[in-house]
Amino acid sequence: MVFSRLYRLRTDTVLLRLLASDGQGRITIMNSKDFGILGEKIAENYLKKKGYKILEKNYSPSFVSGPNIGEIDLIAKKADVIVFVEVKTLKENSFQDFFPEMKVDYQKQRKIIKTAQSYILEKKLFSEIKWQIDVLSIIVDFEKRKAKIKHFKNAVA
């Protein structure tokens, strides 16, 4: 199931730090890391408004290291389900042949699953929980100061 909605960007201190002017009055992002942080902040606010409780941000297993280590952008809970959330963000007009959610390919999905399983083991949640992996696709329009969000629930199996 996909949910899509426009989300107006608020001018709070986090967003103001991340945004910069290009000298011609247009708002641009400072760098790709900050752009990713902005996307995750938008996703976090969106999920909170939908009734999710944020449990972790940028989770990486503590007992695993190396280049194949995974990271989960957000871990949330709603009702009795733990939701592992992958956030993909692009600027308006920067996606011509694909959408942000298309960046979650097979290899990325496998890495998310392994990282989610590591979280369950680390927190000793074994059989007592239901869990799923969602993808939030965000397209940011800086000129309009809006973001379009698509929420793909239980997107990775």
* pLDDT tens readout for residues 27-38: 554 577 888 888
**Cβ pair 27, 142 in contact under 8 A:** yes
Which pTM does this prediction carry?
A: 0.78
User: What CATH number was assigned to the domain covering residues 2-156?
Assistant: 3.40.1350.10
Q: Residue 97 above 90 pLDDT?
A: no
pLDDT at 64: 61
Q: Residue 96 above 80 pLDDT?
A: no
Q: Rounded to the nearest 5 degrees, what angle is found at the Cα of 113, between the Cα atoms of 107 and 73? A: 90
> What does the domain layout of the chain look like in residue ranges?
2-156
pLDDT tens-digit series, residues 108-120: 888 888 999 999 9
pLDDT tens-digit series, residues 57-93: 999 987 766 556 789 999 999 999 999 999 988 877 6
